[in-house]
A and B are shown apart, each in its own frame.
Chain A
């Protein structure tokens, strides 16, 4: 009997304990998803202020959507996932609260889509937004949401790709189609293009616009294309190294800026969509008198980072080429995108080291445990390059960096730059030593991009590092069909820099 009594008390006690734990857990769970609780640890004062200005706080219905409604997945998706994510976010913020100074945290970067898409869950959005077609939605909106519903999983689409301002106010943010022309700011409207009589740097002035482009004279020479096998963090497509010669050319001191790009846009844009084949045909006629330029972009091509002297971004390779065509027509010179060889020659500025300044990619971009320790002196790279280590998760103006030996700014970092060549991993196998002005493969589907961008680690911004476009993936959110030939929807850090061929009249 006694033994039985003990067993019973263990059983009953066990149940009681379990019940207490369950109730406590439920209580903790519900108390740890209130806004006050979130705010108690997450020192998100700015996030809180901007949320209160957002449609999820100032809703027409008066319903206020709390932090946890967007920043935790719905429990219906699976409790394991829910608690894992909750635990992870809690731990991260506890760490930040304990060891970090809120003022040192770059809140603006957390508002960027790159970050936001990892802390907002589509399933949370559609849990409330069950009807993606509210009355009054535009035809473009219907097309976009049909595209989302058909392809969300297949293409990994994110609600915040188009609705980044849903939860926290972003000044000026829109996902509507851009209307009309764009103000390029004050400045003299140029009447005539620059005259170039000698092989020396000049400033191109684009007639009828206030766009001026500083062009740096790059004297031709010989160099080793690619990186040696022992270069730290080298990838196989950077070799075999070839000794090649490039002829003299002019290269823009900076990446093409918004002011310059909008000048092109304002003169060539067309509101209506024309089939791509018609555009291609029109622009490749033998004598083009007027270039057919971009259609209006959807949303916010500058991502709210600012226009002016910041590099223009998110245009396609075709848009960049068409810019060159337009500029050539306006100025009577031959502008184009650089070949890969020209680009690397210009970036190196006579050096043969991983960067055109001193430094070891392994030290600048520590991996594994070393990354946690941090500590490498990045003064040198930060002086010349806008990269992961010093950018606020966005592009910066060229005035923030010092030029390379040729006087070119942002050859490395800030934005990736289009080259004229198609990409092939074995491109250098097909270049002979001693080749003059070598070109990439005659055929291909993706283009070479060089220089890395603001979001890249230091080893991605080496002079020899090669990458390529990812055309389809960079258009996956674009709901139009045919998709835009002018604007990418899913890449931010891409821009371009132009070169000008040396006129034959110059020695």
Chain B
């Protein structure tokens, strides 16, 4: 994955260790992640299913929740939906081994700030957690691809009776599309900034805007995209 989206690796050394909560139904994976994260972050708890996760996260209010997309009892998005209203400060980073796009998009739409695959290295994961904790988003190439796909297929009207309720939210701007494409091609934010002659901050802004569109748009098309994919 992208160890390269690295604005502040090592800079956060001074005490600001993000408090991390791990939700995954595989015990082996949980301990593996715990070990990989080492002392760079403060792992304050673990959970293996939706109910216990909701309960503990609500009680402990971690900075970042590492959330498996596939969870018994409703999947990752159930956890996000349950926590977000009451605890807006808790941020979620989705993780998964197998990439069913509709599940990933569902978690993001529920409110997760980023998505990485489980093949990510420990350093990269720490970096991603730091960035989520700082309020940024973490788009892996895969997520960028999923999002492009989701928005592209809904852009083709294909005989829908209902017009898009909010075109502003239902479509990506050409610039956002460009940024997503470069992420999907494996570019770092810094490289994207150089390529498009914009600042890294602007790249961040575009990505956040994409995230907002994903989460806010009324999206019967987005759900339709998901069901289409499931039917296939």
A and B: real partners?
no
Residues of A within 8 A of B (CB): none
Query: CB within 8 Å of A: which residues of B?
Result: none
